Amino acid sequence: MIRKIAGRALAAALGVALGFAATTLRMPVETAGGSVLADRIAYSAGRIPQRGDLVVVENTVFTESGDGMRLMLRVVGLPGDRVQIRSGRLLVNGEDMTDALSAKQALAEDMETVIVKEESLFLLSTQGSDHLDSRSEAVGQVAFEDVWGRVCFMFERERKENRHGTAEVAGQQ
C-alpha cells in the first residue's frame, strides 16, 4: 500500500518535473498576489476561462521598467454578462454571486452595472478592493488573448507578526 502511494507520488512529481523541463506548459509565476503555478495552455484550442477560474494576466501600466507585473485575478464576468457591485454584493446577470465566487473581501465600493464586451472578461482581485482588477482603468476588461494562464496551485504565504499587526511574507508550499 505504501509502495503504491509512494509510486504514484513519484510519478506525479516526475510528470511535473518533465512538464517544466520539456514543455514549460505549467510554470511557477510570481504575481502581485503571491507565487502560483500557472497552466499556460489551459485556454488554448478555443477554450475560454470560466466564471470562478483564477487566471494570471499581465499589466504593464504601473511598472517603471516596462517588464510587466502579473496579476492573479478571478473571472467573474463572461462576454455579455452584466456585472454590478451593490451594497457589498457581487451581482452577475442579477444573481448574487458573492459567496459562490468568494468575492466578499473585494466588494467594499459599489459599482454601476458593466456589460462585458465580446471576447473579454471581467476580473476581480483576490486580494481586496485596493488592488488592480477590471474596476480599474489600468486593467479594465481583459481580452481572452491577454490571459497568461490558469492558476493550478497557489503557494501558501507565511504570516508573521510585526509592530503593525499581521503581515504576509513569501512562504512555503
> What is the per-residue pLDDT across 65-118, written as a single tens digit (0 to 9) for each?
666 678 888 999 999 999 999 988 899 999 999 887 776 666 778 899 999 999
165 pLDDT exceeds 80? no
> What is the per-residue pLDDT across 110-162, written as a single tens digit (0 to 9) for each?
899 999 999 999 999 877 656 688 988 888 999 998 998 998 887 765 544 44
53 pLDDT exceeds 90? yes
pLDDT at 68: 66
pLDDT at 94: 95
28 pLDDT exceeds 70? no
- Per 3-state DSSP, the chain is made up of helix, strand and coil in percentages (nearest 5) of 15, 40, 45
Q: In order of start, what are the domains of the chain with their CATH numbers?
A: 25-170 (2.10.109.10)
Query: Computed from CA positions of residues 71, 72, 77, 83, in that sequence, does the dihedral angle turn out positive or negative?
Result: negative
Indicate yes or no: pTM above 0.85: no
Residue whose C-alpha is closest to residue 40's, from 24, 51, 58 = 24
pLDDT at 93: 97
Give yes or no for a contact between 157 and 168, defined as CB atoms under 8 angstroms apart: yes
